[in-house]
Chain A
Amino acid sequence: DADVTQTPRNRITKTGKRIMLECSQTKGHDRMYWYRQDPGLGLRLIYYSFDVKDINKGEISDGYSVSRQAQAKFSLSLESAIPNQTALYFCATSEQRGGLYNEQFFGPGTRLTVL
């Protein structure tokens, strides 16, 4: 089974709808991240969390919110989806131990289309 899972894998929604993307991990990592990837723009950090009580905004948090329900679960919400939020969304995890240098483990991604 995959260590980092994302649901749904694909989603088509309409402008103005609320949508939640979910991420679960079995790696036992404390740190979790949400990124979006757009052609020509690369991976950009939306939100990150270093433990259940710690939530931080990333580079592009406007229009998004997150919830860290447990160590293993980190959800990303679009309160009112708009077409320019159409993108590939990735969840990632990393260990707390070792500090800065730890690699990130990515989920398979959610392809979101907002019409």
Chain B
Amino acid sequence: SQKIEQNSEALNIQEGKTATLTCNYTNYSPAYLQWYRQDPGRGPVFLLLIRENEKEKRKERLKVTFDTTLKQSLFHITASQPADSATYLCALGVSGYSTLTFGKGTMLLVSP
């Protein structure tokens, strides 16, 4: 069966360090992958998209990698700040289908 796995345990890091979040998938051949940020009680907000033929994408302090061989995407936040504390969701889009399938998300806690 198809699965998207994100670390269920919260990731705790210190301010200034790099946070790395993982999204693994099985039995999918995604055409693209998106990352969203969600704050408690609020709707997800889009951050980055990476396509299957792209290895890496960057936006300010954010970096996403996509390895279709390992079936994995890594999401990095460099120089993390307490304001980066949130839940981060990955979402896969598959060719021929027009909807996204979301992972359950990983909570990131950045302490001062």
What residues on A are CB-neighbors of B100 within 8 Å? 45, 104
Q: How far is the CB of B47 from chain A (nearest CB, A)?
A: 9
- Is B93 within 8 A of A100, CB to CB? yes
Stretch at the interface among B12-20, B37-45, B65-73, B77-85: B37-45
Docked pose: A65 CA to B46 CA in angstroms = 27
What residues on A are CB-neighbors of B51 within 8 Å? 101
Identify which of B41, B45, B98, B104 contacts A41 (C-beta below 8 A): B104
What residues on A are CB-neighbors of B27 within 8 Å? none
What residues on A are CB-neighbors of B34 within 8 Å? 103
Size of interface on B: residues with Cβ below 8 Å to A: 23
28 A-B contacts, Cβ less than 8 Å apart?
A4-B43, A31-B98, A33-B99, A40-B8, A40-B104, A41-B104, A43-B102, A44-B102, A45-B100, A45-B101, A50-B98, A88-B41, A90-B43, A90-B44, A92-B43, A100-B95, A100-B98, A101-B51, A103-B34, A103-B49, A104-B44, A104-B100, A105-B46, A106-B44, A107-B43, A109-B41, A109-B43, A111-B41
Given known contacts A42-B89, A107-B43, what 20 new A-B pairs fall within 8 Å (CB)? A31-B98, A33-B99, A35-B102, A40-B8, A40-B104, A42-B104, A43-B44, A43-B102, A45-B99, A48-B99, A50-B98, A88-B41, A90-B44, A101-B32, A101-B49, A101-B93, A104-B46, A104-B100, A106-B43, A109-B42
